[in-house]
Structure formats: C-alpha cells, structure tokens
Amino acid sequence: MGIHKLSPLTVQTATDGDHADGDGLFLRVRGTRAKWVFRYTSPAGKRRDMGFGVVSRDTLATVGESMRRARKLARDARDVLDAGGDPLEQKRAKRETEAEKIAAAKAELKAEAATLCRVARQYHTRVVEPRFTKKHAALWIASLENNVPHDLWHAPIDHIEHVALFKAMAALKRRIPETADKVRQRLDKVFDDAVFHGLCTVNPARVIRGKLGDEPRGREEGHYRALPYQDVPVFVAMLRKQRAIAARALEFALLTAARTGEVLGAVWPEIDEGGAVWRVPAARMKGGEDHVVHLSARALEIIREMRALGGIYVFPSPADPRRPLSGMAMLVLLERIEYDTQTTVHGVCRASFSTWANDLGIARVDVIEAALAHKEADRVRAAYNRASFAAERAALLHAWANYCDGKGQAVVVPPSAQVLPMTRAA
C-alpha cells in the first residue's frame, strides 16, 4: 500500500472530504477546517479513528510541518499496532499517567505549603487576633513558635503523627507543665481547624490528650532546679571546653539571662555588635514586648564565633544552617556533661543569675527584674523602667559575665553610685 500520496500543495487546496495519504492516514476537510486522522482496526477488531491535530493551511511551510508531524505519529501508531497494542488506549493511559503525576505534584506542593507553622499562623490571623487583645494574641502564637520542635513546626500538617507530637509534648510537660498544657490546647484548635478545611484528616493533639495526662508533670514555672551561683564559674569553665554549638548557645543564654526560645530563635538582624545589644522582638518574648539585652565582651565573642558559621540563625542547626538549633540540644548537652541532675537550662541561665544578683544585692530589684524581662504590672512604671535602666542593666550583665569568668570585678549600683566588690566564689 502506497504512502505519502499527498503533497503540501494538495493539502493546502483540498476540498471537503477525506483525502488518503496512505496506510491509514487521512486529511479530513470540513469547510474551512482540516485535520489529520489515522484510521485503523484495533486488536479487538474495532474500527477506530485517531486524531493527529488540526492543519493550518495558511502557508505551504505550515502545511509541510503539519504533514511531517502527522506522518511521524502515524508511524508510531503502526508500531503500537504491530506490537499488539491499541494506539488510542495507549494514548489514554499515557494521558492518565501524566494527569496522576501532575495531581501528585500539586498535592505535594500543597502539603509543603500547608506546614503546621503556616497553618497555625493563618489560624492565628483569622481567628485569634480578631477575638483577643493584641498582647494575648502575641503570646498565643509565641507559645507555639517557641515550644513546638522545629522539625514538627515546619512539617506538612498532614504528615505529623501523634507519636512524634506526644514525645514533644511529654518532654515539654516535664520541663514547663503549664506551658505544655497551653501549647497542646492551642494545637488542638489548629488541627481541628485544619481537619475542617481538608488540610489533614486526624487531629493528633486530641489523640494524645488522654495519654499525655498519664505523663508526670515537671516543676511549675518559677521552681526550676537552679545551680547554686557559687558553682556557676566552674560550670562555665567546663562549658567552654565543649566544642558544640549547643555549648555556645547555652553559655550565651547564661550570660544574657535569656530564655531558651529567645536564644534559639535569634536571627542576625537582631544583633547590633557595634552597640553591643541584642534586640529580641515581642513575638518571641513571654511578656509580649520588645526586650533589649546588653551584651558583655564574652557574649560578643560568642556572637563573632557563630557569625563565622553563616546561616540565618545565630545558633544554627549543625545539620542545616538554614534552621535553628534544636530545642533539645542544650538539654542533651547538660546530660553529656552530667549536670542534668543538678540544674535545668532555665535554672542555670535565669534562676542562678537571679539568686546571685538578689542575694548579694548586686543591683536594685527593679533592674534585676528588667534584665530578666519579667513583666511589670504598672504600664507607666514599665515604660519608665525600660527607658531609665539601660546603664544599670548593662552594668549588671557585665558584672555577671565577670563573675561567670571567675573575676572579682565591681559593679556600679546607681543611684548611690556604690561599688560592691565581688570575690570569686569559694
């Protein structure tokens, strides 16, 4: 049977009807429309027509290109038939496979976009902020950002399993039970909303509620095991022998009397090395207000050491510099250096500092409380304190750094300008 019977000119000038090119390929003309059709008999004995596309007959060049394409498609179809297949069924199967791939890719993109972090923030914007005060709304989202482990916080919400969430919440309950209760309750609302909107099918925060109730509670906030301040210089000396990023983060938290979430969430725009200050945004503060931390010489050394690592966060994850250090890293470090039975991260970083400063009268109570970023009930007084305590807070943290370093430096205590001599702990 002959093939390639048509020429570009005959195709361009063809009138209504089916015009054979040979071996099953036809040019079908209906009025001003023309298209290529491949006619064949399927392996099942069924007569079928397979379209190869519309022909543009404006120029001989476009006709020629269309003809070459149709003839190639016809050859491919004949090969399928020779192999015992049906070209139309194969085309349909290929189209379905491609559609499945596209759907899977879209689902994957949707899952990546619908991380717990993004879904929680969207819920916060849509539901929490309109219903609560600005302060409470800020604390609401900060409690999740500071206490949900990074690998869960940034995981697709429909990939979070109840076992992983239970382990994270149980660990938090042992450390900060009241906060753990609030975090689980807030996650419960986020997951409930996500289930309603089809972003996940199960609410793991609800699944773990009963089981989490069986877990032992840690000490209430404000009653953490604190390392006696007399032992802090020895602890710091041991800490400096550790090469891990967690050791630098823990020492920095200790020198700044900061909370774990404040330190681990620190990013470089918050650090002003020239001014020797670290500005912590309200969203990451327990009190929901911006907090300025004055950096000692040793704290700045740590900053410079960390800057050399690169990354977004001041204390990046060793596995991925685009992520912050894990919330468990400093706890693991305490276990490794065998201090976990003597103190907690909060205890050594904040309670030891508070006891040292208060018991020895290093500074006025208001200054100590301001350095710890404890919430001042009187808003007018709080605004005044933030404005007036800068020099005293800086002096206090410098004195604390000297004490941690084992140096007997003095600290000025305004307004009486007394100088309190500091001696190394016995």
Region of poorest pLDDT, from 157-171, 216-230, 239-253, 288-302: 216-230
Task: Judge whether 175 and 222 are in contact, CB under 8 Å.
Answer: no
Backbone angles phi, psi at 115, to 5 degrees: -75, 160
Q: What angle separates helix 177-196 from helix 134-147, to the nearest 10 degrees?
A: 100
Nearest Cα residue to 247 out of 258, 235, 259:
235
> Which two tokens mark 91?
């085309």
pLDDT digits (tens, 9 = 90+) for 329-387: 898 899 888 888 888 888 889 989 988 988 787 888 788 888 888 765 444 444 444 55
Q: Are strands 47-54 and 411-413 parallel, antiparallel or unpaired?
A: unpaired
pLDDT digits (tens, 9 = 90+) for 96-134: 888 887 776 666 655 566 899 999 999 999 999 998 888
Q: Determine the pLDDT at residue 110.
A: 59
Kindly state the average pLDDT of the residues 4-29: 92
pLDDT digits (tens, 9 = 90+) for 203-258: 999 999 988 888 776 644 444 578 888 999 999 999 999 999 999 999 999 999 99
Q: Determine the pLDDT at residue 216.
A: 75
Q: Domains plus CATH for the chain?
A: 8-93 (3.30.160), 116-213 (1.10.150.130), 229-420 (1.10.443.10)
Residue the block writes with tokens 């409690």: 143
CA 407 to chain centroid: 41
Mean per-residue pLDDT over the chain, rounded: 84
Q: What angle separates helix 352-359 from helix 390-404, to the nearest 10 degrees?
A: 110
Q: What is the pTM of this model?
A: 0.47
> Which two tokens mark 267?
């990013």
Task: Judge whether 397 and 379 are in contact, CB under 8 Å.
Answer: no
> Which two tokens mark 228?
């006696």
pLDDT exceeds 50 at position 9: yes
More confident residue, 3 or 222: 3
Nearest Cα residue to 231 out of 357, 403, 411:
403
pLDDT digits (tens, 9 = 90+) for 34-54: 999 999 999 988 999 999 989
Q: What is the 3-state secondary structure (H, E, C) of the chain?
A: CCCCCCCHHHHHHCCCEEEEEECCEEEEEECCEEEEEEEEECCCCCEEEEEEEECCCCCHHHHHHHHHHHHHHHHHHHHHHHCCCCHHHHHHHHHHHHHHHHHHHHHHHHHHHCEHHHHHHHHHHHHHHHHCCHHHHHHHHHHHHHHCCHHHHCCEHHHCCHHHHHHHHHHHHHHCHHHHHHHHHHHHHHHHHHHHCCCCCCCHHHHCHHHHHCCCCCCCCCCCCCCCHHHHHHHHHHHCCCCCHHHHHHHHHHHHCCCHHHHHCCEHHHEECCCCEEEECHHHCCCCCCEEEECCHHHHHHHHHHHCCCCCECCECCCCCCCECCCCHHHHHHHHCCCCCCCCHHHHHHHHHHHHHHHCCCCCHHHHHHHCCCCCCCHHHHHHHHHHCHHHHHHHHHHHHHHHCCCCCCEEECCCCEEECCCCCC
CA gap 346, 354 in Å, rounded: 11
Strand partners, 26: 20, 37
C-alpha distances in angstroms, 79 versus 75, 84, 133, 230, 375? Answer: 6, 9, 71, 87, 79
Q: Determine the pLDDT at residue 61.
A: 92
Peptide bond into 149 cis (omega under 30): no
Region of poorest pLDDT, from 26-30, 331-335, 398-402: 331-335
